[in-house]
Chains A and B, each alone.
Chain A
Amino acid sequence: MGGNAATQAAEAADAAAQPPSIVTRLFGGWPRRSERPPLDIRWWGLGFVLPVVMFFAVFSVFPVFFGFYLSLTDYDLLSPPLFVGLDNFRNLVSDKLFLTALVNTLIFVVGATVPVWAASLAAALLFDQVFRGRDVVKAIFFLPVLPPAVVIAVIWRLLLHPNGIATSTVGWFSGISEIPWLANTVLAPLAMIVVHDWAAIPFFMLIWLAGLAGIPQEARDAAAVDGAGALQRFWYIDLPLLRPTSLLVASLATINAFQSFVLQFVLSSDQGGPANSTLVLGLLVFKYGFQYFRMGDAAAVSVVMFAIIMSVTLLQLRLGRRVY
């Protein structure tokens, strides 16, 4: 107890010696007049950051607010927008296409996060071990991350031809010579998940590896001395210490999956087919905006997407704050 008090006092002394952080300045009160830099220097500072601030305001902040404004309009891009209030949002509730896309997106998100989280962790644990040829195998495993998503989609389009390599592989065991991977309403969404995960797992593996590298070997050694087996060391030492990494992987994977567009746009038949089975929210925004001339609805779907992603991310962050 006494030790704790001493530590707290030392931390307080350290904190007092540090200059106030930007967070303190923003949220912990403005510095006293005697601490502020002279006016002319502050103007210089403002002058230097102004171009970046303006760029950010024009190309990031303004579009966000303008998008929200558009979600309150009926706008076909060719005629002036008509203000319709919340009608677009009300209509979404009964919009079959939106509901189909929402369900498809949720299924895709589950398929593109849970397996990715687990498989990328497993891959990281594998490549965290020392074995002959590890670096070469790791580099090969990482290759799917390098090409752009469009290239990946085009390559997989060839692999998933009904008489292509994927069918031949399955046919080796089953004798089937034709599988409509992308033309079947059950197989096509699964194919999207598989292709996505194939490219995403190596990327997230790197993040896990960085997290594993940060775990002190002493903690593992101490557990080993206490008689903990490999599984126990992973469960009681590695996994708790990987909590921030785990949270990061879960958040990034979820956000990426919700925003998925290129894969469905390029790989699916008729951009979201067959029978809308691969239509996800990102693709629906594109279709509404640039194919159906319904920019107001596109903006409304975007706002809903934003709300969903933000809610899920906040939930993940909140869950991640729990301390055992």
Chain B
Amino acid sequence: MRHHNATLKSMMPHLTRRAFAVLAALVVTALLSAPVAPASAQTTTIKVWLHDHPPRVAIDKAIVAEFEKANPDIKVQYDVIPVGEYGQKLLTAFASGSGPDVFMNSILLVSQYQSAKILAPVDFAGLGYADEKALTSQYLTGFDGIRFGGKLYGLPIEVSNWVCYANNAIWKEAGLDPDKDFPKTWEALPAVMEKLTKRDANGVPTRRGFDFLWPNRNMFWFVLSSMFHQQGKDMVDAQTGKMAFDTPAAARAVQYMVDYANKYRLGGPQYGDARSDFLGGRLGTECSFGLFGIPQMKTANLQYTIKPAPRFADAASDNGFDAYAFYMMVNARSTPANQKAAWKYARMYLDRSVELFEKAGLFVPRPEVLASPGYKSDPNIGLIVDELKKAKFAPSIPGYDQVLDILLKGRDQMVQGGQPAASVLPAINDEMNTALARARTRAGG
């Protein structure tokens, strides 16, 4: 052992405990001080996080460059995050106290963030508008999904709504003309779609006329809410704030979709993605594309006709599908200086709405967009915007994903399990209200 130690000693320089402690302290100090970059007291740096949309990124970079040139005292740290990672990354960033100053999110999640008091109310002066009216009058619609307690908490940067698209070739093959034969009501839809459907010897559809976008989690929320609105009702009661799935309006809307799958056997959750099938020529009609679908149809070399969404025959409201939006928001936990700079940046972003529409397909209904050559040159957009004007916004609630999962469980019990809506709906309504109440209580709302 003694010999072994002597060998080691001869191989290593002599180091005392004190020398080692000094060395370790130096290393730790160096490590701790390395990330701290000297910042000028005059410069404000804002973090901007947007999810990836390749056609928009180049415009974003130009906006950042222009903004920094116009505001030499503000630096922009711009990050593009892949769509699939965006929600989690945003969540963990806020959890660790390093959330961005400017960020975007879907209408379906803004309520959660607003409840957690992360969203700063819109600073109209910071944006360069006299008041709320001066801002909102610049838009046909878009702010209903971001208004909480009478205050606005964000700016619409993409407003969208679904309409129906008919595959002209499939309709023609069935001896139908979309312009004449497209059903105006939900009640008339199954008979027309049956004509477009091809079945095998067992009656299984080998080509569907129309199907809902079942694999999309949010579809059920949007379509059901639209059907509630057509009946003059709200899926989330405006007075009580509770889910209204124990009402006749819910029973009618849900039963329609259950019957479409089980009684008429025209589609259902077991089939593939309706959008892909439509683009692949395996589905005659698709009703979950907005403006964003047109480039995809052109790429697929598909001849189509755009039609408004069906309504209930006795509809109390002439709306098609609900509208939805992505919003640009400012972090309420940022310093006042950062918030001020953030709203300034948001204003510059809004002012590029024509370019964002024409080059990146991000539509906001502002006068300059409606007057742009890109808008006027597309004959289809008029119908979509007409539908948008009539549309109401899908409700945004805290705890959305949990409430939606309960709704989807109920859907599965009815569509796949064959359980009657009369027993399933009251049960899931109670479950949804419990989840909603918990989310609101936790959020302090």
Binding site for B on A (CB under 8 A): 34-35, 37-41, 43-44, 47, 50, 74, 76-79, 161-163, 175-178, 180, 182-185, 269-270, 272-276, 287, 290-295
Contacts and interface: CB of A to CB of B under 8 A. Distances in A.
Contacts, number: 115
B204 A177 contact: yes
Contacts of B95: 77-78, 295
A275 B112 contact: no
Q: Which of A34, A274, A294 has the most CB of B within 10 A?
A: A274
A38 B8 CA distance: 10
Interface in B415-433: 416-417
A184 B443 contact: no
A177 B201 contact: yes
Contacts of B8: 37, 41
Interface string B24-50: 100000000000000000000000000
Given A37-B8, A41-B9, A44-B15, A76 B416 contact: no
Contacts of A269: 215, 269
Contact of B94 (A43, A78, A270, A273): A78
Given A184-B416, A290-B87, A43 B17 contact: yes
6 contacts: A37-B5, A43-B20, A163-B206, A183-B269, A270-B217, A276-B409
Contacts of A270: 217, 405, 408, 412
Contacts of A273: 408-409, 412
B88 A47 contact: no
B269 A39 contact: no
A49 to B, nearest CB: 13
Contacts of A175: 202
B14 interface: yes
A82 to B, nearest CB: 9
A78 B91 contact: yes
Interface in B62-99: 87-88, 91-92, 94-95
B201 A274 contact: no
B30 to A, nearest CB: 14
B413 A275 contact: yes
Given A177-B204, A275-B412, A290-B87, A76 B116 contact: yes
Contacts of A79: 116-117, 442-444
A47 B24 contact: yes
A270 B221 CA distance: 13
B408 A180 contact: no
A240 to B, nearest CB: 42
A73 to B, nearest CB: 11
A270 B401 CA distance: 11
B204 A178 contact: yes
Given A44-B12, A293-B439, A78 B204 contact: no
Contacts of B112: 78, 293
Interface residues of B, number: 51
Contacts of A161: 272
Contacts of B371: none
B320 interface: no
Interface of B: 1, 5, 8-9, 12, 14-17, 20, 23-24, 87-88, 91-92, 94-95, 112-113, 116-118, 200-202, 204, 206, 215, 217, 268-272, 398-399, 401-402, 405, 408-409, 412-413, 416-417, 435, 439, 442-444
B442 A163 contact: no
B71 to A, nearest CB: 29
Given A78-B112, A79-B116, A287 B269 contact: no
A291 B416 contact: no
A125 B236 CA distance: 61
B12 A185 contact: no
Nearest to B95: A77
Contacts of A287: 401-402, 405
B116 A78 contact: yes
A176 to B, nearest CB: 7
A55 to B, nearest CB: 13
Given A78-B118, A273-B409, 13 more contacts: A41-B8, A47-B20, A76-B116, A78-B112, A79-B116, A79-B444, A178-B204, A180-B416, A184-B416, A275-B409, A275-B416, A291-B405, A293-B442
Given A37-B5, A76-B443, A77-B94, A292 B401 contact: yes
B270 A183 contact: yes
A246 to B, nearest CB: 39
A176 B116 contact: no
Contacts of B87: 290
A295 B116 CA distance: 14
Nearest to A274: B412
Nearest to A182: B270
B137 to A, nearest CB: 32
B92 A292 contact: no
Nearest to B2: A34
B319 to A, nearest CB: 27
Nearest to A276: B409
B204 A163 contact: yes
B91 A40 contact: no
